[in-house]
Amino acid sequence: MKTLEDWKIKTSVLWLIEEGTILAYLIVMLMEPGVLEGIMEGKLSKLLDIQIGPELLLIFTITLLVPLVMAFLSLTLKDSINRWANIVLGIVFFVTPLVASSGGVAESSAWAIVNPLSGAVASALIVWYAWKSKQKV
């Protein structure tokens, strides 16, 4: 018999999968020719001419910490707050990789398409389980 706690475990694991996709994306991105040289010059992307600065580093830090914190909070927050936190942040993490992968489509890099889409699927499932949990109460 399934219990209400099942959705909390599923969303927690999905947040860890989301974190894994982010880390995998960063690792594979560093293997692309010219990326490390660009980073050493203070640029994230030569195509977009994005400068690496404190603001960008803060955004990266938050992006890496949110899924880890949500993995814990998904197991500990009260149901109503938990559900809404998972839905709102799940939507944010669903949209973000899709926007980020749009550059990969232009460059035709398969990894730059598959990896963010994997994260988007995990985020969509987080939103789905959180949304469906309300119907089980």
Give the pLDDT confidence of 72-102 residue by residue, as tens digits.
Answer: 999 999 999 999 999 999 999 999 877 766 6
pLDDT band, very low/low/confident/very high, at 3 (cuts 50, 70, 90): low
- Spell out the alpha helix ranges (H) of 1-109: 5-31, 35-40, 54-76, 79-107
**Tokens, residue 24:** 């995998």
Q: Are 122 and 14 in contact (CB under 8 A)?
A: yes
- Per-chain mean pLDDT for the chain: 86
Residues 6+ apart with CB under 8 A from 130: 7, 11, 82, 83, 84, 86, 87, 90
Indicate the pTM of the whole model: 0.85
What whole-number distance in Å separates Cα of residue 37 and Cα of residue 34?
5
Domain limits, the chain = 5-136
Q: Are 17 and 70 in contact (CB under 8 A)?
A: no
Instruction: Return the pLDDT at 85.
Output: 97
Q: Are 126 and 11 in contact (CB under 8 A)?
A: yes
Beta bridge pairs of residue 101: none
